[in-house]
Amino acid sequence: MKSKYLIICDTAEVAFVEVDETVDTLQTLQVLVNGRIDYVPCQRTFVGLDCWFNDEFSFYPEMLPNIVASYETNTYLQGLVVIARSNEEGKTISLTSEDVKLLESNLDITDRVVTLEEVAEMHAAIKAEYTARQAAERATKQTTDTEEN
């Protein structure tokens, strides 16, 4: 059986991700948000759902502001977030079919369901792109400094 969550990227791309229910939820959420997790409750359209995010986002300059999630939670957030449901014991569980319908009626969601591995690859690509951009900027600065001297 699969658990279904919604991911909202900081680029405003939105997709469902399905994960085998036997996979540890904490580990799944950490992979999805690319680090340590924390949550804030959804407070506007998706009341009753949880928004999970990387609690160290301020240390990752490659994570952009997530306008959609920030609006929904009334909290400034950066990077990819995960929308999920929790049960009465506080355990994170799959979105219900009603949740999926509500989310689909309010967000422009990609038709394709992504995998946990694809999200991990996306995080690695973003980090590599950011690192390459930083290296190029340092090289340009060194060249400029050398020419000025």
- 41-54 residue pLDDT tens: 999 999 999 999 99
The pTM of the full predicted model, rounded to 2 decimals, is 0.86
- 53-98 residue pLDDT tens: 999 988 888 889 999 999 999 999 999 999 999 999 999 999 999 9
More reliable by pLDDT, 140 or 113: 113
- 109-127 residue pLDDT tens: 988 899 999 999 988 888 8
Burial class for 119, CB neighbours closer than 10 Å (0-12, 13-18, 19+): buried
- Give dist(CA 83, CA 67) in Å, integer: 14
Q: What is the DSSP letter of 81?
A: E
